[in-house]
Amino acid sequence: MSSHQQTVHDQFDPQATAYLHSAVHAHGPDLQRARQLVEAALPRTGHALDVGCGAGHLSFALAPVLERVVALDASESMLATVQSAAIERGLATIGTRRAAAEALPFADAGFDLVASRYSAHHWTRLDAALAQMRRVVRPGGHALIIDLEAPEDALADTHLQAMELLRDRSHVRNRSHREWQALLAAAGFELIEHMRWPTRLEFADWVGRMRTPAQNVSMIRRMQTEAPAEVRDALAIEADGSFTVHTGLWWARAA
């Protein structure tokens, strides 16, 4: 395990219950749109892989319209949480697998859909992980990526990434729409649809979920108050530190 992978594990493994109950993760128009897209494009016999499943919200949204969903994550406690929550919800078609996105332990072309939600910004080798996702999905199958979308504006982007890293040391990078277009094309996916929704991050909840050290919370607050007006506007930074970014959804076909 690399040092970064250990950091990801240390950050997420104790937080599975917090992620199961997090409103930002459990709900959202992206989950509804994901299910609509999958229901319209895949047969009921479809098999999906959810990479970086966390507490399983994307798997829970897709399982009712598919035959099988494999929920994959690097954290064993996230996977245990997915298993018990899936049983509680009567979703017996969800299986779990512990692995890294960059080394998927599956045969070529075995899935009809490869998906990931709010995880790719932790992957150091995103191009390698997307290549793995392309390898395990069948030609003509689909990819569904959901993640916080970086602003195209460089100054707002730098402030967002800095706040993210201070909040969570396992943060690597949120990508912009332009970056996702290039990454998906390079991995062999043809983009079909891109949508985005505003996502308000409530400050106390956002730092609490990652147990951000108090010193870092102060640094984030200071960065926010010292940010130029155009950054405060772009990120809609509020008096209590809450701010609004966008959740992006990229729906693509495996070429």
Ligand X SMILES: C[S@@+](CC[C@H](N)C(=O)[O-])C[C@H]1O[C@@H](n2cnc3c(N)ncnc32)[C@H](O)[C@@H]1O
Residues that bind ligand X (CB under 6 A): 8, 12, 19, 25, 52-55, 57-58, 73-75, 78, 100-102, 117-119, 122-123
- Type of residue at 63: A
Least gap, CB of 228 to ligand X (angstroms): 29
Least gap, CB of 33 to ligand X (angstroms): 13
Least gap, CB of 117 to ligand X (angstroms): 4
Least gap, CB of 163 to ligand X (angstroms): 16
Question: Toward ligand X, which CB reaches closer, 43 or 105?
Answer: 105
Least gap, CB of 15 to ligand X (angstroms): 8
d(CA 81, CA 15): 10
Question: Toward ligand X, which CB reaches closer, 4 or 194?
Answer: 4
Distances from the Cα of 251 to the Cα of 14, 105, 116, 147, angstroms: 31, 23, 11, 12
Number of H helices, E strands in the chain: 12, 7
Question: Toward ligand X, which CB reaches closer, 60 or 243?
Answer: 60
Question: Toward ligand X, which CB reaches closer, 11 or 216?
Answer: 11
Least gap, CB of 139 to ligand X (angstroms): 24
- Type of residue at 134: R
Least gap, CB of 124 to ligand X (angstroms): 7
- Laid out side by side, the sheet with 94-98 consists of 94-98, 68-73, 47-51, 111-117, 137-149, 243-254, 189-201
Contact 212, 168 (CB under 8 A): yes
Q: Which residue is nearest to ligand X (CB)?
A: 54
Question: Toward ligand X, which CB reaches closer, 119 or 224?
Answer: 119
Question: Toward ligand X, which CB reaches closer, 30 or 157?
Answer: 30
CB atoms within 10 A of CB 13: 14
d(CA 16, CA 226): 34
CA-CA-CA-CA torsion sign (130, 1, 12, 167): negative
d(CA 82, CA 104): 19
Question: Toward ligand X, which CB reaches closer, 82 or 227?
Answer: 82
